[in-house]
Amino acid sequence: MLGVVGEELAESGKQQTRGEVAVRADDDEDRVFGHEVTVSPRPARIACMPAEIEDYALLSDCRTAALVSREGAIDWLCVPRFDSPSVFGALLGDDDQGSWQLRPDDEGAVAERHYDGDTFTLVTRWTTSSGVAEVHDVLPVADRAADGPERIDVVRRIVGVSGEVVFVHRLRMRFDYARALPWVRQAGTDDEPELIAIAGPDSLVIRGPRLTADDHVHTASVRIAAGEREDAVLTWHPSYRPAPAAIDVDDALARTNAWWAHWAERIDATGPHRDMIARSLLILRALTHRDTGGIIAAATTSLPEQFGGSRNWDYRYVWLRDAALTLQALVAHGFVRAAAHWRRWLLRAIAGDPAQMQIVYGIGGERDLQERELTSLPGYRGAAPVRIGNGAAEQYQADVIGEVLVALHAARDAGLGESEFSWPLEQALLAHVVARLDEPDEGIWEIRGEPRRFTHSRAMVWAAFDRGIRAVREYGFSGPVETWERLRDEVRADIDAHAVTDGGWFRQHDETDEVDASLLLLPTVGFCAADDPRMLATVDRIEQTLLTEGLVQRYRTAGAVDGLPGSENPFLACSLWLVQQYAATGRREDAAALLDRVCALANDVGLLSEEYDVTGRRQAGNTPQALSHLALVEAADAVRRAG
């Protein structure tokens, strides 16, 4: 492999500094343009595995996201969008897959961290034997008109607090999910050095301290005294365009903090869980693409539901269900404009024949989400395969339109005005429900086994008709309301006749007596009362069969309904649904205790993943998970209403 022409012979195996000479460095002894050169072998390097999932904090500019470990390593960054290929992928392997670590040179340094108020400026305070200093990590929110998606910046500012602290940058860049080593060269001046890395359509320019090549990593040492500060800024831009000018870091940080604070000041939350509610709403905003309005399910792909197992999925896309549920949480707290933005996204995404509607799309409404496996990323602590894309795009999930129409009706009740196409959109969705009324489906959990007639799905079909009927009866819209009323009543009668066991509880689907945590949602959409005897029996059965150390599993994987090997951990949203059920039926102490239990599982900066491993006492699955955070908001609201 031919190395890079430039002062640094970077990213090319064993490296030498040779001015303007490129070195081929695949072997310990080789030639440089006809001249003999000897390269001394290096000792084997021990790769660093990723941190625990709960050790990561989120950075977001509402276009993409980064995950920063407690040890100061950015181990996950995809540019320029949440669902773009990674340039730092150590989260799904080790630092060979790309990472940017910034921490004190003192191995005994102790870190404490927090967000700067209601923002995503991460402040990590390091206490060392020689002094105290902070690192402020930020993805600046770009000026939409000035910058748009043509650049993404990552700012890492070191601030001296007391004494002196030596920090070390260790930068390892790997483009396209670690499938492309970039060409790297030095640029800039002695006073303002720049490191430029290019591979295919992507380019990075790193400004700040001079980084020098050492094997496959670029390093720099920075000494910071009290009152001093040092900035390092990584900027992504399309490689076919010139590198953009350096940002004014002070202005970018002030503007970004003001942007987040302005958004957060509208949060209406009180009570003992105010901070978790606020942070959860902020996370939902952080997972919403600023330009398109698409709301992704999580910032990551392939973090395992079962450690070492194969239940690893790409969640960096827009599920209609998850996005609709997110909207309900946002609208309930006064963010009606978010509903208007997402409704426009929805109209663009499903434009055309409703029969072609998918349940998940790309951030911009893209339909091609072909699921495939990557070999360039070995997986989080060996949990393979790593997947990009998601095969759920090809599934039929009968509940989805119900969630969408419930969310849009809630937004209407909250004052969202109609657009030219908003009601025709809902009518088209209802026509799709009618066309597939009695089909079995893959359900809310996107099973990979045989389609079933899931009770939750059938109840959401009922909810879809119900919200259509209410739009006509309460708001005066036109539509075949008599037909919808007849079909709504037929669906209810079908559920009453076939979805209740001899023991009196709702069943997961009409071929089993097993329960499913999704049944906890039936009262929340109005299908039945929370104290309906069938719901109380269902809760009792869930407590008997799905609770693991007080947390709720989605269903029993031993029943083989999902068609996948292995098992999984309790699903955090399900536990929060049980909180709502407890609160609605007078079990206030149980509701408050379970809510406290789930809140205690959040990490030090308030992030929840998808699941929790009660044996290993650690978070599991993709993170931060929108469904977990929106369910927390709704659960906290339910507990507050219950007094």
Per residue in 521-566, pLDDT (tens digit) is 999 999 999 999 999 999 999 999 999 999 999 998 876 677 777 7
- Residue 563: how many other CB atoms lie within 10 Å: 10
pLDDT of res. 32: 25
pLDDT of res. 559: 66
Long-range contact list for 330-334, CB < 8 A, 24+ apart? 330/281, 330/284, 330/285, 331/407, 331/410, 331/411, 331/414, 331/416, 332/410, 332/414, 332/633, 332/634, 332/637, 333/266, 333/267, 333/268, 333/269, 333/277, 333/281, 333/633, 334/266, 334/267, 334/268, 334/414
- pLDDT-derived band of residue 280, with 50, 70 and 90 as boundaries? very high
Is residue 222's pLDDT more than 90? yes
Alpha helices in 187-319 (DSSP H): 249-264, 274-286
Please give the radius of gyration of the chain, using alpha carbons only, rounded to the nearest integer: 26
Residue 253: which of 116, 145, 146 has the closest Cα? 116
- pLDDT-derived band of residue 568, with 50, 70 and 90 as boundaries? confident
Is residue 608's pLDDT more than 90? yes
Per residue in 326-352, pLDDT (tens digit) is 999 999 999 999 989 999 999 899 877
- pLDDT-derived band of residue 159, with 50, 70 and 90 as boundaries? very high
- pLDDT-derived band of residue 149, with 50, 70 and 90 as boundaries? low
pLDDT of res. 216: 82
What's the burial of 63, exposed, middle or buried (CB within 10 Å: 0-12/13-18/19+)? buried
Query: Length of the chain, please?
Result: 643
Give me the residue label for tokens 């999930």.
397
Residue 201: which of 155, 150, 245, 143 has the closest Cα? 150
pLDDT of res. 635: 98
Is residue 7's pLDDT more than 70? no
SS3 letters across 196-220: EEEECCEEEEEECCCCEEECCEEEE
SS3 letters across 110-161: EEEEEECCCCCCEEEEEECCCEEEEEEEECCCCCCCCCHHHCEEEEEEEEEE
Distance, in Å, from the CA atom of 403 to the CA atom of 422, rounded to the nearest integer, reads 16
| Helix (H/G/I), strand (E/B), else coil: 586 | coil
Q: What is the mean pLDDT of residues 166-190?
A: 96
User: What is the residue-averaged pLDDT of the chain?
Assistant: 90
Q: What is the mean pLDDT of residues 355-384?
A: 94
Is residue 16's pLDDT more than 60? no
pLDDT of res. 9: 36
Q: Encoding tokens for residue 257?
A: 């903090």
Least confident of 8-17, 52-61, 256-265, 551-560: 8-17
pLDDT of res. 144: 61
Please tell me the pTM assigned to this model: 0.91
Strands 611-613 and 618-620: antiparallel
Are the C-beta atoms of 609 and 628 separated by less than 8 Å? yes
Are the C-beta atoms of 390 and 369 separated by less than 8 Å? yes
- DSSP class of residue 40 equals P
Percent with pLDDT over 90 in the chain: 83
Please, which residues bridge with residue 326 across strands?
none
pLDDT of res. 561: 79
Q: What is the mean pLDDT of residues 99-121?
A: 97
Are the C-beta atoms of 91 and 50 separated by less than 8 Å? yes
More confident residue, 323 or 565: 323
Give me the residue label for tokens 């540019």.
79
pLDDT of res. 46: 54
Q: What is the mean pLDDT of residues 228-237?
A: 98
Percent with pLDDT over 70 in the chain: 91
pLDDT of res. 420: 84
- pLDDT-derived band of residue 12, with 50, 70 and 90 as boundaries? very low
Q: What is the mean pLDDT of residues 7-22?
A: 32
Distance, in Å, from the CA atom of 268 to the CA atom of 454, rounded to the nearest integer, reads 36
Omega cis (within 30) before 80: yes
Is residue 63's pLDDT more than 70? yes
Please, which residues bridge with residue 88 across strands?
77
Q: What is the mean pLDDT of residues 74-100?
A: 97
Q: What is the mean pLDDT of residues 107-119?
A: 97
pLDDT of res. 33: 24
Per residue in 381-440, pLDDT (tens digit) is 999 999 999 999 999 999 999 999 999 999 999 999 988 888 999 999 999 999 999 999
Q: Encoding tokens for residue 640?
A: 């507050």
Q: What is the mean pLDDT of residues 96-107?
A: 97
Omega cis (within 30) before 149: no
